[in-house]
Structure 1
Amino acid sequence: MLRCPQVGEFARPSGITRAERLFGESDYMLHVVTRDLKAFQTLYDRRLLPLPSVLRLTSTLVMKSIFQDRPLPL
């Protein structure tokens, strides 16, 4: 959970590929790509947790991508 972050806070840590503002319990969702779990832990502990606007972080790891960037039925 973030307290009114500056957009630039998301741009600083490398590995963040996408940031989205949400409705609901969580305020933001960051999509992160790292080379391995150790690199993810480093990003989480050293780059995201210290951000002044971060109150709480939760993470979910993708086990398998089923499909990506599917065309919208417009």
Structure 2
Amino acid sequence: MTLDTFSQKILRLLQLDARRSVQEISDQVGLSSTPCWRRIKDMEQSGIIQRYTALLDREKLGLHVCALAHIHLTRHTEGGVEQFEREIATCPEVTECYSTTGESDYILKIVAPDIKAYDTFLHERIFKIPAVAQVRTSVVLREIKFDTQLPL
């Protein structure tokens, strides 16, 4: 789907605040409400807009540790990879999972209340996955930039 200037403006506004009304968006974009609403619906149906969500403050929720786990697999067979990915998909502590090139097979972003809880998570969930050979962890000291907006 090719995005014209109006659709790009709509997406920029929704990325800033998805709770805006269609009327507010249409006023700022320069379209009437119905065409604006139709564009939003089309972008939802095409999958450009996947969902609407709330961004939460993990620190205020008691999740003080954020770690990046670099995972190396022993088995790169289809079964081993699929089993790893299925298991990771069930872990609420894992907020992001990327299959990567380079030294690691996967990089996971994991949140936990404290380092002890992180260690427990590693031992009870990650190390029990048969395909996992090694985990190297980088603990986040400070978050410099966190943004969910895509450049349009």
Question: Residues 73 and 17 of structure 1: is their aligned pair in 2 closer, same or farther, counting only changes over 3 Å?
Answer: closer
Contact 1:21 1:27 in 2 (8 A): yes
Pick from 118, 121, 131 the counterpart of residue 40 of structure 1. Answer: 118
Structure 2: gaps (5+ residues): 1-71
Partner letter of residue 105 of structure 2? Answer: D
Name the TM-score, length of structure 2 as normaliser: 0.45
- Residue 65 of structure 1 pairs with residue 143 of structure 2: yes
Q: Distance in 1 between matches of 2:91 and 2:126?
A: 8
Q: Name the SS for the 1:58 alignment partner.
A: strand
Between Structure 1 and Structure 2, which shows a larger proportion of helix residues?
Answer: 2
Give the % identical residues.
34
Structure 1: gaps (5+ residues): none
Between Structure 1 and Structure 2, which shows a larger proportion of strand residues?
Answer: 2
Shift of residue 11 of structure 1? 1.4
Whose relative contact order is higher, 1 or 2, with alpha carbons under 8 Å and at least 6 apart? 1
Structure 1 or 2, whichever has the larger Rg, is 2
Q: Distance in 2 between matches of 1:16 and 1:39?
A: 13
